[in-house]
Amino acid sequence: GAVVSQHPSRVICKSGTSVKIECRSLDFQATTMFWYRQFPKQSLMLMATSNEGSKATYEQGVEKDKFLINHASLTLSTLTVTSAHPEDSSFYICSARAGSYEQYFGPGTRLTVT
């Protein structure tokens, strides 16, 4: 149990375009999902906390107008990178919280902006 999926696993987009990444909890309901980004050889950096039915809470330094988060249902959260630029190229990972503390991670999405 506690499987989290992400789609797509890899995406290449042109600079200036937008790209949407989906995060789904497949066998449980998640009132809270988290979005991270990870650069090569670095740790996971929390970008935002996504609560079902309410606005996401962004970490300091993360532009909410650039990284749009929607958590429309208990099993789906989406991250849209708007007007992507090469510096947005990164590994984006979501997690879903099942209980008080447990977080289950998705397999990640590799975004490359050309």
Partner 1 sequence: GENVGLHLPTLSVQEGDNSIINCAYSNSASDYFIWYKQESGKGPQFIIDIRSNMDKRQGQRVTVLLNKTVKHLSLQIAATQPGDSAVYFCAEGGSGNQGGKLIFGQGTELSVKP
Dist. CA 108–CA 66, nearest whole Å: 19
Dist. CA 110–CA 89, nearest whole Å: 8
Residues from 8 through 37 that contact partner 1 (CB under 8 A): 32, 34
Exactly one of 44, 62, 68, 76 binds partner 1 (CB under 8 A); that residue is 44
Does position 62 bind partner 1 by CB under 8 A? no
Does position 43 bind partner 1 by CB under 8 A? yes
- Which residues are 39's β-sheet partners? none
φ, ψ for residue 86, nearest 5 deg: -55, -35
**Residues in the site for partner 1, rule: CB under 8 A?**
4, 6, 32, 34, 39, 41-46, 49, 57, 60-61, 91, 93, 95, 97, 100-108, 110
